[in-house]
Copies of this chain bind each other. A is one copy, B any other.
Amino acid sequence: MSRSRLTAEREAELYEAVLDLLREVGYDALTMDAVAARTRSSKATLYRQWRSKPELVARALRHDKPVDVGDIDTGTLRGDFHAMLLRTDNCQMERDSALMRGLAQAIHTNPDLHQALRELLIEPEKTGMNTLLRRAVERGEISADNPALKFVLHMVVGAFVSRQLIDDRDPDRDFLTQYLDAVVLPALGV
């Protein structure tokens, strides 16, 4: 049987169901049985299309389109950061937070999954962030040798992840806006 037996719509539906399950129960508890039940498909179909659970999850992660922040250009770094937050609604932040939580242990033991998560969430953020920061340096807003430059993504991702751990709440736009103004911009000397 060939991969072309599923329509693109059906494939997208399956991937979305896999990501939903990941957010709900985490990687370990996500079984092919659960995916089959959720999507009303047979396990035989799933295994024909994707050979294993890691392959299915990695493909589901890659199928989700990351947001590109590199094309934001408001003229100031503060404006760019705020525009970046306005692009992602609280619902999407909750979903990303749940996804990271569900994968935290699994990516440590499964390099393919880690690579897929990096491609989906980390690398696009890194590239987009570097574009915004490079422009801020060129405008003279940030000194090129500011030691905080290499930690901007750690600050942002860290705020995202620690919000849950410390305050038992999902990260949202209000929290991240305050954090950007109180921490990230002052550390960069803006």
A114 to B148, CA, bound (A): 32
Complex contact B148–A154 (CB within 8 A): no
- A59: B residues at CB distance < 8 A: none
- A114: B residues at CB distance < 8 A: 168
Interface size on A, residues (CB 8 A): 45
| Least CB distance, A135 to chain B, in whole angstroms | 21
Q: Does A53 contact B (CB under 8 A)?
A: no
Complex contact A147–B105 (CB within 8 A): no
| Least CB distance, A141 to chain B, in whole angstroms | 15
- A26: B residues at CB distance < 8 A: 28, 105-106
- A179: B residues at CB distance < 8 A: 151, 154
Q: Does A140 contact B (CB under 8 A)?
A: no
Complex contact B182–A151 (CB within 8 A): yes
| Least CB distance, A93 to chain B, in whole angstroms | 15
- How many copies of this protein are present in the complex? 2
Question: A101-B108, A105-B102, A182-B148 in contact; A166/B157 too (CB < 8 A)?
Answer: yes
Within 8 A of B (CB), among A131-157: 146-148, 150-151, 153-155, 157
What are 5 residue pairs bridging A and B, where the CB atoms are less than 8 Å apart in the complex? A26-B105, A114-B168, A151-B179, A154-B159, A158-B158
Q: Does A178 contact B (CB under 8 A)?
A: yes
A92 to B72, CA, bound (A): 41
Known pairs A25-B105, A122-B165, A146-B182. 8 more at Cβ < 8 A?
A: A25-B109, A26-B28, A100-B165, A102-B105, A147-B182, A154-B158, A154-B183, A161-B162
